[in-house]
Copies of this chain bind each other. A is one copy, B any other.
Amino acid sequence: MKEIVIGIDIGGTYTKFGAVDRSGTSLAEDSIPTGEHEKAEDFVSRLAEKIRAMLAGLPRDLVPKGIGIGAPNGNFFRGTIEFAPNLRWKGIVPLADIFRNHFDLPVYLTNDANAAALGEMIYGGARDMKDFVLITLGTGLGSGIVVNGQMVYGHDGFAGELGHTIVDPAGRECGCGKRGCLETYVSATGIRRTVFELLAEYITESSLRDISFNDLTARMISEAADKGDSLALEAFERTGRILAMKLADTVAHVSPQAIFLFGGLAGAGDLILKPVRRYLEEYLLPIYRGKVCIMPSQLSEINAAIAGAGALVWNALT
């Protein structure tokens, strides 16, 4: 008999799911489109069917111990998805309860960045750490904070929204309705905005001058930087500086041993890591200097979301 958990990562486009063992290894995986069902109930019915089919294909000695779900705007305390801008289901969706109608298993739900942080703690680079932070750099900027070995959920289950800390209250327009939020500068979208700001500011030649805003991707920027494009390099420099400035504030709050960078933009490696490390030391209060490691997540991108969601169950079982 071997214990497994079911990890589910609900994204704007696809929902991926898998059976994950205690080491984070995925024994089977599958996915369905997220947006095809108008009602969350119908979506979960379809998903439950596919999960049963996946489990049926696995050896008999595997025992599922629970279901962990990572979802945008997921609330751990209530098991709900609340006002998620990128999902079709509006308002407050009691997703964990809907799952409980289909499975006689414990169901845990949190937001995707918290799930990734738990994944880092259970299977990844934070296995020996009690105080760390994980930053997801995708379309937006998400975060999961662990203090004293526990996920920080706050009084309402919504703690850890570092993407909406303020860089400049009169700064860039953010999708949340505010201005100058961190994710408008530091994310795959943020660095594109920075490139366009630099293209306007300087007359330097750049391969990025031939690409429209909508066509530009973070990968194109890192490829240009790798080829020595000075505007692209400056975009990473600015992005790293702003991230470091706000991470210095994070350190002043919770004094973590390490901060992990996860997701798309983190894939740029030293292009982003080096300026973050350099500026962080400058912005830190002297008592913190030289103590905080900035490192890439040690979860592999492909399974991280599923394994992270599964980590919610392992974490509850321990």
Q: Which of A148, A164, A246, A253 has the most CB of B within 10 A?
A: A253
Check if B283 sits within 8 Å of A178, measured CB to CB: yes
> With an 8 A cutoff between CB atoms, is A131 at the interface?
yes
Q: Contacts A245-B166, A245-B169 known; A158 to B253 CB distance under 8 Å?
A: no
> With an 8 A cutoff between CB atoms, is A31 at the interface?
no
> With an 8 A cutoff between CB atoms, is A215 at the interface?
no
Given A162-B252, A166-B245, A166-B283, 6 other A-B residues pairs in contact with their CB atoms under 8 A: A147-B159, A156-B257, A156-B288, A156-B291, A161-B285, A253-B253
Residues of B with C-beta under 8 A to A255: 152-160
> With an 8 A cutoff between CB atoms, is A256 at the interface?
yes
Partner of A166, one of B164, B248, B257: B248
The contact sample of 15 A-B pairs, CB cut-off 8 A, is A73-B287, A83-B287, A153-B255, A155-B291, A156-B255, A158-B255, A158-B287, A160-B253, A162-B252, A162-B253, A164-B252, A164-B285, A166-B283, A176-B286, A249-B249
Residues of B with C-beta under 8 A to A158: 255, 287-288
Partner of A155, one of B162, B257, B286: B257
Residues of B with C-beta under 8 A to A285: 161, 164, 176, 178
A1-30 CB contacts (< 8 Å) to partner B: none
Complex Cα distance, B170 from A213, in Å, reads: 31
Check if A148 sits within 8 Å of B156, measured CB to CB: no
Number of A residues whose C-beta is below 8 Å from B?
45
Check if B252 sits within 8 Å of A161, measured CB to CB: yes
Q: Contacts A160-B253, A245-B166 known; A148 to B150 CB distance under 8 Å?
A: yes
Residues of B with C-beta under 8 A to A152: 147-148, 253-255
Complex Cα distance, B266 from A64, in Å, reads: 54
> With an 8 A cutoff between CB atoms, is A238 at the interface?
no
Q: Which of A250, A252, A254, A257 has the most CB of B within 10 A?
A: A252
A124-183 CB contacts (< 8 Å) to partner B: 129-131, 145, 147-148, 150, 152-162, 164-166, 169, 176-178
> With an 8 A cutoff between CB atoms, is A82 at the interface?
yes
User: A224-252 interface mask toward B, CB cutoff 8 Å, 1 = contact, 0 = none?
Assistant: 00000000000000000000011011101
Q: Contacts A152-B147, A164-B285, A285-B164 known; A159 to B253 CB distance under 8 Å?
A: yes
- Shortest Cβ distance from A160 into B: residue: B253
Check if B256 sits within 8 Å of A155, measured CB to CB: yes
- Shortest Cβ distance from A258 into B: residue: B155
Residues of B with C-beta under 8 A to A287: 73, 82-83, 158, 161
Q: Contacts A83-B287, A283-B178, A286-B177 known; A252 to B165 CB distance under 8 Å?
A: yes
Residues of B with C-beta under 8 A to A245: 166, 169
- Nearest-CB distance from A158 to chain B (Å)? 5
Complex Cα distance, B165 from A316, in Å, reads: 34
Residues of B with C-beta under 8 A to A82: 287
User: A280-312 interface mask toward B, CB cutoff 8 Å, 1 = contact, 0 = none?
Assistant: 000101111001000000000000000000000
Partner of A249, one of B73, B165, B288: B165
